[in-house]
Structure 1
Amino acid sequence: MKTLIATLLIAAPLVAASSFAQAQGTTPAKATAAKKTVQKTAKKPAAKKGAKAAAGAAAAGTAAAAVAAAPAAPLSTEELAVSERVFKGRIPCELGAYVNVTADSTNPGYFFVDGRGFKYHMSPVKTTTGTVRLEDKAAGAVWLQIANKSMLMNQKAGQRLADECMSPEQQQVAEAIKKNPPPSLLDAPKPAQ
């Protein structure tokens, strides 16, 4: 993949130089000289790093624009109710990771969930357990939020992207559970016979 990107980064200026030369009516010899100049510039390490950074930024911008431009289907009343319970902001997770959850201003009820190496456009999904669930069905990503923690999973890749994520409200619930743990299901009183 890196080789493909590097090849494209080197080929793009060559194609542009060739097209420019043809548009200007330049002779093939002059166009070849222009190509060699572009190749020499592209071979320099600083130029490669700059070109890679520019290509990476362009790709990230394109991906972000694609995510932002995704048409959103209207949500049901139940899904909008779920979206009201979503914790927003920068949410710290285990191992120094974090997840940013921000509301999509153009599509009510939808959210952008992003962090290191990922960005998803998610919609709420009604659950029978009351768990807050956001999904990006195209990417296979799921954000689950319960009272004391949240997690982000990529079901297509079969991996957790972030775990033990806690908003300030969830941290309070987690501390309360530590101080006063709920009774175990195994310790529950047996029903009278």
Structure 2
Amino acid sequence: MKSFIASFLLLAPVLALAAGSTPTTKAAAKPAATAKKASAKPAAKKPAQAKSKAPAAAAAAAGAAGAVTVAQALTPDELAIAERVHTGRIACELGAHVNVSKHEQHAGHFQIDGKGFKYEMVPVATTTGTVRLEDKAAGAVWLQIANKSMLMNQKLGQRLADECMSPEQFQVAEAIKKNPPPSVLDPVAGSK
């Protein structure tokens, strides 16, 4: 229980930052406005609106695909974060796995894939020191702390992989089980 609380306290600021980092744009407000306009217009114009949305969707998909091929220039801090990313086939809960590999052409970029997903991610600096990789176009985030990692899709609002552990993270998790860190809820020695 203590290790769960400690893990939660370590991960809580990261999750709060992740939840707060979803940008609010005019595009997010458009679906509601479009729905109001569509209900006010005659039914005959709805197919034309559907046609105009198709090229926009294709352009958005092309933009997302372009984000994968265009190399984002990384700062020295982001390159330092990239050095700490665990790579390889990483086992997750429920028999799932995630493959994390360095991008062949772009330093500091990573490809993360698994069953039903594939992302190209770049490091993002955090205030907590947590390793965070993002694919902003897809809304995917890979978070790595000392004893586990997780993959989330912010656009869908779900975790794609949880309790993922590289061999190094597994060793840390086992050490925490054998010698749990003191809980923030435990009284401090010498205090009354």
- Alignment of 1:114 with 2:89, yes or no, is no
Cα separation, 1, equivalents of 2:88 and 2:155: 26
Cα separation, 2, equivalents of 1:76 and 1:141: 20
Q: TM-score normalized by structure 2?
A: 0.64
Q: What SS does the aligned partner of 2:119 have? A: strand
Q: What SS does the aligned partner of 2:69 have? A: coil
Q: What SS does the aligned partner of 1:187 have? A: coil
Tell me how large the CA RMSD over aligned residues is. 2.3
Cα separation, 1, equivalents of 2:82 and 2:184: 31
Cα separation, 2, equivalents of 1:191 and 1:128: 31
Cα separation, 2, equivalents of 1:68 and 1:104: 14
Cα separation, 1, equivalents of 2:138 and 2:151: 12
Q: Indicate the structure whose relative CO is greater, using CA pairs within 8 Å and at least 6 residues apart.
A: 2
- Alignment of 1:171 with 2:170, yes or no, is yes
Larger Rg: 1
Tell me the equivalent position of 1:94: 93
Tell me the equivalent position of 1:10: none
Structure 2 residue runs of 5 or longer lacking an equivalent are 1-61
Contact (CA 8 Å) 1:101, 1:113: kept in 2 or not?
yes
Contact (CA 8 Å) 2:119, 2:140: kept in 1 or not?
yes
Structure 1 residue runs of 5 or longer lacking an equivalent are 1-62
**After the TM superposition, which segments of 4 or more aligned residues of structure 1 sit over 3 Å from their partners?**
66-69, 190-193
How far the C-alpha of 1:192 sits from its partner, in A, is 6.2
Number of residue equivalences = 131
Contact (CA 8 Å) 2:67, 2:137: kept in 1 or not?
no
Deviates more, 1:145-154 or 1:181-190: 181-190
Pairing 1:11-50 to 2, within 5 Å after superposition:
none
Identity in percent:
71
- Alignment of 1:136 with 2:135, yes or no, is yes
Q: TM-score normalized by structure 1?
A: 0.63
Cα separation, 1, equivalents of 2:88 and 2:140: 18
Contact (CA 8 Å) 1:134, 1:144: kept in 2 or not?
yes
